[in-house]
Amino acid sequence: MKEKAIHLAHLKRSFKMGEDTVHALDGISFGIEEGEFVTIMGSSGSGKSTLLNLIGCLDRPTSGTYKIDGVSIKDLGKNQLAQIRNEKIGFIFQSYNLLPRTTALENVELPLLYNNSIGVEERRKRALEALEKVSLSDRLHHTPSQLSGGQQQRVAIARSLVNDPVVILADEATGNLDTKTSYEIMALFQELNRQGKTIVFVTHEPDIASFSGRTIVLKDGKIIRDEKNTNVRVALDDLRAIPKQD
């Protein structure tokens, strides 16, 4: 039996909005095993962003338990949460969130700057490796403004890989990209998954979801569907199917 990378049980998160209490997440339980590629789907307001924030340790649940890599985050303080984020989670955002006027290499090094156990040389070495994995070794010293959207997102992916996280969390990672680039990014995710990375991908596009091995659908803070994909598409094949544009 594989150890669960992520384990959620009866997870609830509610927000006070004036007089009313909004239950963004209303009792969610599931587990994600190491090496899984899971997409979380749902329309806006379904609670998927809240769930992502909880999994990413940016937020704490109102009730229920959440364990990442066997660690329950319920009783952890702010600084300990920061450390978990730093060591166990890799974030990828829709709008890339790279530091402007900062080179790709430095952007990728960023999470390691906040890890005291990693020295300058180790940091550089890991960042170079991560950029190689996303095929950007020739763009090390380019700043975000000198890179295309797809390249920027690949820098962001390299940044999420650099601390060798337990899970990579992608929030609408293809939301700002055209179809072809989206497929390229999905191909990259599939390749990383094949190498053993656990990936949680939040999206509202069923097309994108079909590249993953499992889909969880949220509605009104509850899971309405959680099933394995029997017919996983291969992004590289779809990429080849797109006619070359001239």
Where does this chain bind another protein (CB under 8 A)? Answer: 53, 56, 58-59, 78-79, 82-83, 85-87, 91, 93, 97, 99, 101-102, 110-111, 113-116, 119, 159, 163
| Whether the Cβ atoms of residue 59 and residue 53 lie closer than 8 Å to each other | yes
Please, which residue, 87 or 220, has the CB nearer to another protein? Answer: 87
Please, which residue, 52 or 209, has the CB nearer to another protein? Answer: 52
Please, which residue, 34 or 87, has the CB nearer to another protein? Answer: 87
H helix or E strand, kind and range, residue 182 = helix 179-194
Rounded to 5 degrees, what are φ and ψ at 220?
Answer: 50, 40
Q: Give least dist CB 84 to another protein, A.
A: 8
Joined together, the tokens standing for residue 81 give 């949460």
Q: Give least dist CB 116 to another protein, A.
A: 5
Please, which residue, 2 or 78, has the CB nearer to another protein? Answer: 78
Q: b or e along 3-29 (b: 16 or more beta carbons within 10 Å of the residue's beta carbon)? A: ebbbbbeebebbeeeeeeeebbbbebe
| Whether the Cβ atoms of residue 72 and residue 66 lie closer than 8 Å to each other | yes
Look up residue 65 and give its amino acid: T
Q: Give least dist CB 17 to another protein, A.
A: 15
Q: Give least dist CB 3 to another protein, A.
A: 23
**Who's near 178: CB < 8 A, 6+ residues apart?**
none
Please, which residue, 116 or 245, has the CB nearer to another protein? Answer: 116
Burial of residue 110, with CB atoms counted within 10 A of its CB: 0-12 exposed, 13-18 middle, 19 or more buried: middle
Q: Give least dist CB 31 to another protein, A.
A: 24
